Structure 1
Amino acid sequence: MTRVGALVSRVFGALVLAALLLVASTAAAIWWTARQDSRPQSDAIVVLGSAQYNGVPSSIFAARLEHALSLWEDGVAPVVVTVGGKAAGDQFTEAEAGRDYLMDAGVPGESLLAVPEGVDTLESMRAVGAAFGERGWSGAVVVTDPWHAMRAERMAEDAGISAESSPTRQGPAVQTRNTQFRYILRETAAYLLYRVTGESVVVAPGIG
């Protein structure tokens, strides 16, 4: 092998190693963030939407809403923000379904804010950032699934929100170790793609 060939081989090997280390460190950070539970006094609790069926939250969404309800009852923030748009043909947005669920659970209307925008996390966070700016709010506790927390925090920060996360510990996303492993792999790809492109890239159903 010539000197040039050896140099190219070493550079290629170094790049592959750097890429593997980046993926591994990102996956480890997602795992670590998922295990945290930050509950600082904030302007609002932001619940990221998920599927709803004719106004009834899915099991994943309901788990997030129940956790947000617990945070609100503990006095973490005076307002719960539900966020998320709707798919073609839906009558209700995710934000509306989440707001109605919490109202039925006893949260008064003045403590709820529905932001019915966004087909993915990035669009939703940008809409929430605009709503925060209009009200002079700055701090939020973000409620989502554990493996989604790091990307959600990052997108919230990029939208001008000082965000920490309190992930739900219930629901399908945390049922088995195999499920958790798959979610970490998907979120690692989604987080790295977001950092590279600045946009929300769908890498698997439900990941965006």
Structure 2
Amino acid sequence: MPGPRPAPTPSGSAIKAVAWAPRIVLGALVVALLLVGGTAFRVWQLGRVDEREPVDMIVVLGAAQYDGEPSPVFRARLQHALELYEQGVAPRIVTVGGAAAGDAFTEAQAGEQWLVENGVPGQALMPVDEGSDTYGSFEAVAAVAEERGWRSAVLVSDPWHSLRSRTMADDVGLEATTSPTKRGPVVQTRETQLRYIVRETGALIYYHLTHGSSDFSDPGLG
């Protein structure tokens, strides 16, 4: 009887594929690191930019509010928007943000109320409380702006949120610049800043890949 057949010798193409596999994996890792590192650098870089050229509107991105009282994060944004308004950067402030389940106030309404209490006339305020996330809010702001002939905006948020905010604003047709607040819990310590840079890096990459909501709540700051 014939003996067992010898094991087939791997073909040249199979040997080359095995040899190239580690290089492909290494190349993919390098590309991923460059993507993440480059995005993180841009998040950090734009977070340091403060643009105060005259625009049609100051847009304050919402944050947590408690029965109409802005959280420390939100209050820091509103205070910065007030300073821009007083410096004549824009003739109006647009507050944005909806309400969580059970809330009596929306973020936009809480922001408007705080600004009125701090001296901004009601006719200079426009609350836009539509949208369940940042992108949805920008869509609502863009619709309001188009109705009124407003095009340019300076966005007020936390430093590390600036790049993602401006990207979304550009995507809905707004001519956006950024002027982030430099006060509040988000910028108090280097550890907190690093945490937010990492979070915003992931959120921005996710947004670019899916074009979907990339808001992640942080119950630690509000």
Q: Determine the C-alpha separation between the residues in 2 that align with 1:180 and 1:200.
A: 22
Q: What percent of counterpart residues are identical? A: 51
Q: Determine the C-alpha separation between the residues in 1 that align with 2:109 and 2:216.
A: 27
Say whether 1:100 aligns with 2:113. yes
Aligned residue type for 2:30:
L
- The equivalent residue for 1:171 is 184
Q: Determine the C-alpha separation between the residues in 2 that align with 1:204 and 1:132.
A: 27
Partner-residue secondary structure (3-state), 2:51: coil
Say whether 1:112 aligns with 2:120. no
Q: Determine the C-alpha separation between the residues in 1 that align with 2:106 and 2:217.
A: 22
Say whether 1:31 aligns with 2:44. yes
Give the TM-score, by structure 1 length: 0.96
Unmatched runs of 5 consecutive residues or more in structure 1: none
Give the TM-score, by structure 2 length: 0.90
Q: Determine the C-alpha separation between the residues in 2 that align with 1:6 and 1:198.
A: 37
Matches within 5 A, 1:73-88: 73-88=86-101
Matches within 5 A, 1:3-152: 3-152=16-165
**Equivalent pair of 2:134/2:215 in contact (CA under 8 Å):** no
Aligned residue type for 2:28:
L
Q: Determine the C-alpha separation between the residues in 1 that align with 2:172 and 2:184.
A: 27
Partner-residue secondary structure (3-state), 2:102: coil
> Deviations 1:69-121 (Å, cap 9, x if unpaired)?
00000000001000000000000000000001101111111110000112221
Q: Determine the C-alpha separation between the residues in 2 that align with 1:143 and 1:204.
A: 18
**Equivalent pair of 1:189/1:203 in contact (CA under 8 Å):** no
Q: Say which is worse superposed, 184-193 or 126-135, in terms of deviation.
A: 126-135
Relative to 1, partners in 2 of residues 1:91 and 1:170: Cα closer, same or farther, differing over 3 Å? same
Q: CA deviation at 1:203?
A: 4.5
Partner-residue secondary structure (3-state), 1:118: coil
Aligned residue type for 1:123:
G
Say whether 1:201 aligns with 2:214. yes
Q: CA deviation at 1:46?
A: 0.1
Runs (4+) off by over 4 Å: none
Unmatched runs of 5 consecutive residues or more in structure 2: 1-13
Aligned residue type for 2:139:
R
Partner-residue secondary structure (3-state), 1:78: coil
Partner-residue secondary structure (3-state), 1:96: helix
Which has the greater radius of gyration? 2
- The equivalent residue for 1:2 is 15
Q: Say which is worse superposed, 191-200 or 122-131, in terms of deviation.
A: 122-131
> Deviations 1:105-159 (Å, cap 9, x if unpaired)?
1111111000011222111111111111111111000000000010000001111
- The equivalent residue for 1:186 is 199
Relative to 1, partners in 2 of residues 1:182 and 1:6: Cα closer, same or farther, differing over 3 Å? same
